[in-house]
Chain A
C-alpha cells in the first residue's frame, strides 16, 4: 500500500505540488534557506535532535508570543464581558444557530456565495488552517519530542500529504488575495492601504512555504532545522498579531456567527426605564461588543450600502469600526456620547463624520450590510440603536422627522392627512368594512389609504380578490403600523401605534390579514410582537402566488423587470412569489442586482418622509439600473418603491418604462365583465 501510495504521489498531484512550489517559491527558499540541491521526497523531513538551548528558546518564544496575544486579547475580552448584558438573549432556536455555524463558518457558504472567487480563496485559507491545526501542533511538539504524527507511519504520511495539498491551496489563495488587495484594490477597502494585511498575508504564505519546503530536504539536516525554525517563528509572530489586527476574526467570528441575535434586523426591546437606545458606551451590549470586535473590515457592507454608494456620509463599516474605537478608548461603562458630530479618524479612509447623527439617519434600513456580513455582525440593531438614542431623547432635531412624528401622533398616518380622506376612499371603492364574517382583513396602510398611486394598487388588488371570490373587509379606522417611527428610533410613537393596531385587530376579531405593503407586513408580523400577538399576515404577492392557477396568464410578451423590495426579500425571504406573478403577466427580466442583492429604492427606514438626500438620489440610481435592462415595464411589489421610482423614472426623460405593481400587472388582465359588474 505504501508503494502504491508513493507511486500515486510521485505521479499525480504531488508532482504538481513540487512543480508549483519549485516555480513559485522554491527559488526564494532555495536561495535563502537551502544550500543543498533541491530534491523531492514524498515524506516530510524531520528535524533532528533539538538542543536544550533550542528547546529553551522555543519555550521562551512561545511564552512571549502567548503573553503578547493576551496582552491585547485580555482587554478586548474584558470589554466584551463588561458590556451591558443582552436581556432578550436566548440560545434558542439552537438548531438555527448550529446550521448557521455549519453553513457560514464551516462551509463558508455565505462568503463563497456572495463573492465567489475571493470567497473561495478565503475558504481555502480557512479550511487549510483547519487541516493545518494538527500539523502545527505536531510541529511544535516535535521540539519537545512529543510529536504524534510520524512521517514514516501511514497516518502520518497521509496526513502530511493531505495538509500539503491544503498548504498549497492556501499559498495560492493567499497570494491571489494579496494581489486583489494590493494590486486590484476594490474601492470598498478604503483609500488607505492596509499594511497589516500585507504582513499577515506574507506570514501565512511563509507558514505554508516553510511547511512545504520540508518535502524538499532530507531528514535531520541543517536545512530542515532552518525550515522548522522559520515555520515556528512565523507562528510565534502570527499569534500576537491576531488580536492587534482584524485577524481577531479568526478567534471571535465563529462565536459571533453562532451567537448573533435571532432574526433579521431584530431590534431588541428596551431593557429598562433608563434605556433609550445606544446613547453611550454603557448602552452597548455584549453582543454588539462581540460583533464590532469581530469585524474583518472586508467592506461588503459598504460595497452594498445604498447610502455609501450615492455619496452620503454613512458607511456601515465605519460605524462598526467607530463603535470598536469608542470601546477601545472609552470602554463599555462610558457616558461619553457614541455619536459625535466631529470628524472621526478611520483606519482605512480619510476622517469623516462617520459617527454622526447625519450618518445614522441616512440609513434606509435596506439590510444589505447585515445580510452580506460574513462574520455575523448585525448592523441594523446598531444603526437603529443609535437612532433610538437620538430620537428617544429628543436629541435628533429634524424638521421633516418632527413633522412625521407629529403627523403620526395627531393624524395617525405617516402622510399627515385627515383620516376622513381614507373614509372617502373606502366609500368610493365600496370596500366592505371588516365585520368578522369575511376571511381576510385587507390592510391598506398609509400608502394604500392615502397615496394616489398606493390607492390604485390597493384598488387593483381588491379586484383580484373579488375575481378570486375571496371575501375581505377593511378596518373602519386604521393607523400607521409605526414602521417609519420604529426605524427612525421613536419608540414612543411606535409603541402607541403598535398597541392601537393590536387593539383594533382584536376588537374586530381579525384572523388573517393581507397587505400590499412589505413594510406593514414586516412591522405587524415581527416588530409588533414586542407588544402582543398580531393575526397572521401575508404580502399580496404570497396571496396571489398561492392562487395563481386561477389568475389569467397573459400572452403580452412584454418584458418586465422585477425589483425586489428590501422588506419583502431580505427581510421576509420572499423572492419567488412575486416573480411567479410577474412571469404570468409577461417575460420576467432580472436586474443586474436582484434577489438578496437587490439595491434599495431609497424609501426605507423612514427616509421617504425625510428631506432631500445628500449626493445622488438612491432612487435615481436604482431606476436607471432597472431601465437599463431595456424592459418595457418595471414591476414593483411595494408602494414605497413604486412611488420612489415614479419620480425617478419620470425625470429620466424620453420614454421611460411603464411602472406597475404586481397587483396592477395581474388586474389588467381580469375579464372586463367582472369590472363592469363591480362598478
Chain B
C-alpha cells in the first residue's frame, strides 16, 4: 500500500506570537517551526500501517525552505520519501489554493491512501484534507481514531461527539483526516536521522496563486473582554434576573 501523508509546518506551541506589521499575518521572524501535531499522528498511523501491511510512506509538505526540516524529521521517523512543494506565499493562499498544490503533487504519486491531520494548529480550519479529497475525486472520512486494512479497502473508527464512535467501511483509494491521540508517537532516533540523509526529497514548485476566494483581512491576538453587570434588588429579584440571563443571554440552562 502506498500511503501519502500531507503534513504542515506550524510555529512551536510555546512560541510567543506577534502580529506582522501589515496586520494580515503573524510575525514569522524569531519563530521556531515544528510539525503540526495532528499531522504527526497521521504520519504515525501511516508508519504503523506500513509496518503491518508493507508498502511505502511518502510525506509531502507545502511551504518555504524551512519546511524541509520538518520533512527531514518525518524521514527520520521512518517515511521513505519526501516531496517538498516550495511555496513562499502560503499565507496568501486560501484552503482551496493550498489543497490545489497538494492535489497536483498527489496526482503524480497516485497513492492508495492519503492521510493528513484533521486540522492545523495555526489556522484550525479543518478543511484542507476534505477539499483535497474532493479535488482528487476520492472518498474521505474525518476525525479518524483507528485504521484497519481489510480485503476490500479500509475499516476506520471515527470520533463523534459525546463519547460516541462510528465505524465506517470504505474503498481505496481514499483520504482520511486523523485525530490526535489515537496512537502513541515515536521518538526520532539518531539512526533515523542518519538514514534520512540518504532518502530522497523531491522539490517541486507550487503552481502560481489563482485569485483566492477567501482572503485574510486581519489577524489579531485575542482581545481581553471583561464585562461586569451588577444585579440589584431583593435576593428573589436578583435570582430571577440571574436565571433569565443564564437562560436567554448566556444560554447555559
| A contact residues vs B (CB 8 Å cutoff) | 270, 273, 276, 391-394, 399, 401-402, 405-406, 409-411, 418-420, 490-493
Contact = CB atoms under 8 A, between A and B. Distances in A.
A394 B184 contact: no
Contacts of A394: 186-187, 189, 191-192
B241 interface: no
B190 interface: yes
Given A418-B13, A418-B14, A420-B14, A409 B188 contact: yes
Interface residue tally of chain B, by bracket?
A: 10 to 19
A276 B189 CA distance: 10
Interface in B180-202: 184-194
A391 B34 CA distance: 22
Contact of B185 (A392, A402, A493): A402
A392 B190 contact: yes
A276 B191 contact: yes
Contacts of B187: 394, 401-402, 405-406, 409, 490, 493
Contact of B193 (A391, A418, A420, A492): A492
A431 to B, nearest CB: 18
A406 to B, nearest CB: 6
A273 B188 CA distance: 16
B34 A492 contact: no
A493 B188 CA distance: 8
Contacts of A490: 187, 189-190
Interface in B30-55: 34
Nearest to A388: B190
A401 B189 CA distance: 12
Given A410-B13, A490-B189, A492-B190, 9 more contacts: A276-B190, A391-B189, A392-B189, A392-B191, A402-B184, A402-B185, A411-B14, A418-B14, A491-B190
A391 B187 CA distance: 9
A491 B188 CA distance: 10
A419 B14 contact: yes
Contacts of B34: 410
Interface string B119-154: 000000000000000000000000000000000000
Contacts of B193: 492
Given A273-B194, A410-B34, A492 B188 contact: yes
Interface of B: 12-14, 34, 184-194
A419 B14 CA distance: 6
A420 B194 CA distance: 33
The 5 residue pairs across chains A and B that have the minimum distance between CB atoms = A405-B187, A392-B190, A492-B190, A394-B189, A419-B14
A270 B189 CA distance: 14
Contacts of A492: 188-190, 192-193
Contacts of A405: 187-188
Q: Binding site of A, secondary structure by majority: helix, strand, loop or mixed?
A: helix
B14 A399 contact: no
A399 B184 CA distance: 8
Contacts of B186: 394, 402
A445 B186 CA distance: 25
A29 B187 CA distance: 70
A482 to B, nearest CB: 13
A399 B34 CA distance: 22
29 contacts: A270-B190, A276-B191, A391-B189, A393-B190, A393-B191, A394-B186, A394-B187, A394-B189, A394-B191, A394-B192, A399-B184, A402-B186, A405-B187, A405-B188, A406-B185, A406-B187, A409-B187, A410-B12, A410-B13, A411-B13, A418-B14, A420-B14, A490-B187, A490-B189, A492-B188, A492-B189, A492-B192, A492-B193, A493-B187
B117 to A, nearest CB: 15
Contacts of B14: 411, 418-420
A450 B14 CA distance: 15
B121 to A, nearest CB: 12
A399 B187 CA distance: 10
Contacts of A270: 190
A270 B193 CA distance: 14
Nearest to B191: A393
A643 B187 CA distance: 27
A493 B190 CA distance: 8
A420 B12 CA distance: 12
Nearest to B78: A394
Contacts of B189: 391-394, 490, 492
Nearest to A495: B190
A490 B188 CA distance: 9
B189 to A, nearest CB: 4
A393 B191 CA distance: 5
A273 B190 CA distance: 9
Nearest to A389: B191
A392 B195 CA distance: 12
A479 to B, nearest CB: 11
Nearest to A494: B190
B3 to A, nearest CB: 19
Nearest to B37: A410
A644 to B, nearest CB: 25
B124 to A, nearest CB: 19
A419 B12 CA distance: 11
Nearest to A402: B187
Contacts of A391: 189
B4 to A, nearest CB: 23
A418 B188 CA distance: 20
A279 B185 CA distance: 24
A420 B17 CA distance: 12
B131 to A, nearest CB: 29
A437 to B, nearest CB: 24
A419 B191 CA distance: 28
Nearest to B189: A394
Contacts of B194: 273
A492 B191 CA distance: 9
Contacts of B13: 410-411, 418
A410 B37 CA distance: 11
Contacts of A409: 187-188
B203 to A, nearest CB: 24
A402 B188 CA distance: 9
